[in-house]
Structure 1
Amino acid sequence: MTRRMLSLEGRTLLLCSLLALAGTLLGILMAGYLREPLLAVLLSALIVLPVTMLAVRHVMAPVTRHLRALVDGVSSLRDGDFSVSLAITRHDELGELADVYNSVGDILRSERQNLYQRELLLDTVIQSSPQSLVLTDTSGHVLYANTAARKRFHRGRRMEGLVFQTLLQQSPPGLREAATAERDGLYTVEADGEEPEIVHVTRNQFTLNTREHRLYQFRSLTRELTRQELQTWKKVIRVISHELNNSLAPISSLAHSGRLAVQAQRHDLLDDIFVTIEERSARLKQFLENYARFAKLPQPRKVDVDWAAFLARLGRTVPYRPVGEPPTQPSRFDAAQIEQVLINLLKNAHESGGPADEVCLAVETQADGQVLLRVLDRGPGMSDSVLASALLPFYSTKPDGTGLGLTLCREIVEAHGGRVALANRIDGGLEVRLWLPGS
């Protein structure tokens, strides 16, 4: 009962009751004094109504003032200003509403502060990341770029508000191709006077505030690949040392046994000893030749090559389905080396597990005069870890693979002044792209 009397409703009912009681008593007194009931009612109404209006206005004035303060506070919340608090101390619904409003404001201020701290931490991590991150909107304008991206694309200057495609025109062709291709993959980027750089590019498209955004990530794998190559070479040295020991130790033992057989006049044992030594030597020779073939790659002997005849000869060696018409103008390259590259890539495509009739080869001349060769299949493609290591020497996912195929292809193409890119196809499968300089 006490709570209702202190509530806004209770106060209003109490005021109305008191005014009604006062009006009644005044009417009775006026009627007894004037002896005219109707006149008494009119006179009492003339007196009670102004008093009622003044009393209601006096009582409702703080209520109206507090309601306006609440409206202003809610408007501030709507505008993102959480600093407004209400100093209302009432023991009714308005007081409870003001307490709830202040609590909501405290929570929102705390959440904003925590969000700001998390954004600051995230921005610090992103800015210090070695990966180049670029966020663009539907029109291609840059909304965000970290420090690595600014150094890579705009000499360390701010990129926000600029068109990303315009910035790419100032980048090396390999990087421009990596950014504009509609698929994630591994790309070789060559800049003037610098060593080739291996870049892994990924793209993510998502909706933010009902608008489409695209996030580009450029991860340089050159240093990582160099470190892994060093570890790989150490492993290769151990493998070669192990293989040499496994072959030379039996040969040495057999040679000693042969000497003893000669001394003992056991010539019947020499034939088996020589056969075993010959087998061991042949195996060791084949093993060393496989590695020497990679280490002694000759410089390409470039000649003018007709594409129609070249592709016809290639098709007789490894079957494939041609895509489009070959260039009519000849190109200048080492036909034997490029043929070996395409044979390796087409064989890999056939061994990928996809349909044989989906192994395709496309050759086209680009606007800048370069020739683009694309080897496509419909196999399972490559995982991110395999894609990042595919070009490492001696890395292979095949049980009997040497891991030299793709590395040798890259070495041959780069020796021609071209570059290599690996990427998973959107609808499944793998695409290997080779760029060769124009004639």
Structure 2
Amino acid sequence: MLSLQGKLVIANMLSCLLGVLCGALVWFSLGDAALWLALIVMLVVCYVGSRWLTKRLNESLQALEIGLLNFKDNDFSVSLHPYGEPQLDRLVSLYNQASAKLRSERQFIYQRELMLDKVIQNSPNVMLLIDDAQRVVYANGAARHLFNHGVKIEGMLMPDLASLLPDALKAALQSEQEGLFSMASSDSAGDDSGNLADSSDVETWHISRGRFTQNNQQHHLILLKQLTKELNRQEVAVWKKVIRIISHELNNSVAPIASMVNSGKFLTQHLENNKLQLIFDTIENRTTHLSQFISHYAQFAKLPQPQRELIDWANMTQQLAQQYAFKLLSPLPVKPIKLDAVQLEQVFINLLKNAHESGTPADTVSVMFEEVTHPVNGLVVKVEDQGSGMSSEVLSQALLPFYSTKQSGTGIGLPLCREIIEAHGGRISMQNRPEGGLSVKVWLPSLQG
């Protein structure tokens, strides 16, 4: 069977031959005077013959052109019919297969987008998509509830939305940094008399950010995740009870072992046996380490209520500086404030210790005090370093008990700080600094003497 190319060649040759024959007949019948007429007749016959012989090819190419234009417009509903020409029919079959495949893929993507949108809309995490003009492009149900009481916020400007938000949330959105922050729950942010909300009503949030380009425009993705629900007060209470039971049982075993080791060393000291001495020293070292290990967890499990008294900031900062060096970037607070000095000192020891272990030079760790009056009278203490900071994953779990990235860490230091601060009615937040390092901010309400 001839190919399409062979048929076109033969058709052109036949149309040319037919035109020559017609022109010759005219020329022989009319003479030299009709030469131009013969040429015209020959061209007309060749044109008409070529048009007739290539009609099917032209129709198929036009159909393919229309179909491809529909593809360009994302319309995959057009299918082509066969023309009875093997090569054209194979091309038509490939086009129809591509069209069916694209229709199937578009339906799959559409269903997946519906499912993804359903998941996002019902997610408890707040999701916001903002363009470079600070206009909200997309917001899920949690975002609408948090920012505008469930009312649609797409198309609104972030500065307009932020003006109605709590100060802690507003500061987190404006900082353009990832981190942790705390704020009072919407149900208990404080009463009309200005009393503080109970510390159990303080919500801890993690904010993370992303950036990508869509339709040649920069977009910013903001995710807000509430951490309080991940480990609520009842779960913490259960953990504390378990720790107290385990600590009690271990202490009941460790104390007799340590006593017997001391007795054994005393009874065998005259033997001067180096191997025996090494055994007793090893047991003593391990029991001492185990006792210290238990005490760390017991401190978290048995945290007493704060014993408030007026704080001597000069004395406290001097004692802290003897343990971990830091630069004081502000004057000490002048207004009297009642806090538990022992517990508060433990908070700053943990924060300064973490700052020194972050890889920052020792002389770059800083502490700053700021007395505030909004929303209520209080004191803000910042501990900052220039270390490596924290990744988004670590930040989101840094305040959860028993989570640690250190090989020998217990995961108690920062959760203990949180427990102490919230027991005082305060809040703690953590953010990576734009210039590098971590900034930990502690807010404490003032109970003046």
TM-score normalized by the length of structure 2:
0.73
Is 1:297–2:305 an aligned residue pair? Answer: yes
Is residue 376–residue 431 contact of structure 1 (8 Å, CA) maintained in 2?
yes
Tell me the equivalent position of 1:423.
431
Is 1:13–2:30 an aligned residue pair? Answer: no
Match 2:170 to one of 173, 176, 180: 176
Q: Distance in 2 between matches of 1:396 and 1:56?
A: 83
Match 2:119 to one of 111, 125, 129: 125
Match 1:72 to one of 66, 75, 85: 66
Is 1:84–2:78 an aligned residue pair? Answer: yes
Match 2:208 to one of 195, 202, 222: 202
Q: Distance in 1 between matches of 2:40 and 2:299?
A: 117
Is residue 229–residue 392 contact of structure 1 (8 Å, CA) maintained in 2?
no
Is residue 322–residue 362 contact of structure 1 (8 Å, CA) maintained in 2?
yes
Match runs of 1:132-143 below 5 Å: 132-143=126-137
Match 2:241 to one of 224, 234, 243: 234
Q: Distance in 1 between matches of 2:434 and 2:400?
A: 24
Match runs of 1:18-417 below 5 Å: 18-30=14-26, 32-33=28-29, 36=31, 38-39=32-33, 41-91=35-85, 94-191=88-185, 193-194=187-188, 195-226=201-232, 228-246=235-253, 291=299, 295-298=303-306, 300-301=308-309, 315=321, 318-323=324-329, 325-326=330-331, 330=335, 332=337, 334=339, 336=341, 338=344, 341-364=347-370, 368=374, 371-382=379-390, 387-392=395-400, 405-417=413-425
Partner secondary structure for residue 85 of structure 2:
coil
- In the TM superposition, residue 112 of structure 1 has moved relative to its aligned partner by 0.9
Is residue 299–residue 415 contact of structure 1 (8 Å, CA) maintained in 2?
no
Matched AA of 1:177? A
- In the TM superposition, residue 106 of structure 1 has moved relative to its aligned partner by 1.8
Partner secondary structure for residue 123 of structure 2:
coil
User: Which piece of structure 1 moves more, 223-232 or 115-124?
Assistant: 223-232
Cα distance, 1:155–1:311 mapped onto 2, change above 3 Å: same
Gaps of 5+ in 1: 254-279
Cα distance, 1:353–1:289 mapped onto 2, change above 3 Å: closer
Q: Distance in 1 between matches of 2:337 and 2:382?
A: 18
Matched AA of 2:229? R
1:395-418 superposed Cα distances (whole Å, 9 cap, x missing partner): 667788776543443344335543
Partner secondary structure for residue 354 of structure 2:
helix
Partner secondary structure for residue 3 of structure 1:
coil
Matched AA of 1:160? E
1:12-35 superposed Cα distances (whole Å, 9 cap, x missing partner): 43333233333443455455555x
Matched AA of 2:181? Y
Is residue 18–residue 45 contact of structure 2 (8 Å, CA) maintained in 1?
no
- In the TM superposition, residue 425 of structure 1 has moved relative to its aligned partner by 4.2
Q: Distance in 2 between matches of 1:302 and 1:382?
A: 34
- In the TM superposition, residue 287 of structure 1 has moved relative to its aligned partner by 5.7
1:347-406 superposed Cα distances (whole Å, 9 cap, x missing partner): 332244432112122334679576543212244545666544543457667788776543
Q: Distance in 2 between matches of 1:111 and 1:398?
A: 47
Tell me the equivalent position of 1:259.
none
Q: Distance in 1 between matches of 2:93 and 2:223?
A: 48
1:64-96 superposed Cα distances (whole Å, 9 cap, x missing partner): 444333332222211111112223514165544
User: Which piece of structure 1 moves more, 119-128 or 195-204?
Assistant: 119-128
Q: Distance in 1 between matches of 2:297 and 2:99?
A: 76
Q: Distance in 2 between matches of 1:176 and 1:312?
A: 35
User: Which piece of structure 1 moves more, 88-97 or 142-151?
Assistant: 88-97
Matched AA of 2:384? L
Q: Distance in 2 between matches of 1:437 and 1:82?
A: 64
Cα distance, 1:93–1:422 mapped onto 2, change above 3 Å: same
Tell me the equivalent position of 1:434.
442
Q: Distance in 2 between matches of 1:103 and 1:397?
A: 54
Is residue 301–residue 334 contact of structure 1 (8 Å, CA) maintained in 2?
yes
Partner secondary structure for residue 2 of structure 2:
helix
Identity of aligned residues (%): 37
1:413-434 superposed Cα distances (whole Å, 9 cap, x missing partner): 3355431012344565432111
Is residue 306–residue 423 contact of structure 2 (8 Å, CA) maintained in 1?
no
Q: How many residues align?
A: 401
Matched AA of 1:98? V
Structure showing greater Rg:
1
TM-score normalized by the length of structure 1:
0.74
Q: Which has the higher contact order (CA 8 A, sep 6+)?
A: 2
Gaps of 5+ in 2: 189-200, 261-287
Matched AA of 1:423? Q
Is residue 232–residue 394 contact of structure 1 (8 Å, CA) maintained in 2?
no
Q: Distance in 1 between matches of 2:81 and 2:419?
A: 76
Q: Distance in 2 between matches of 1:29 and 1:100?
A: 47
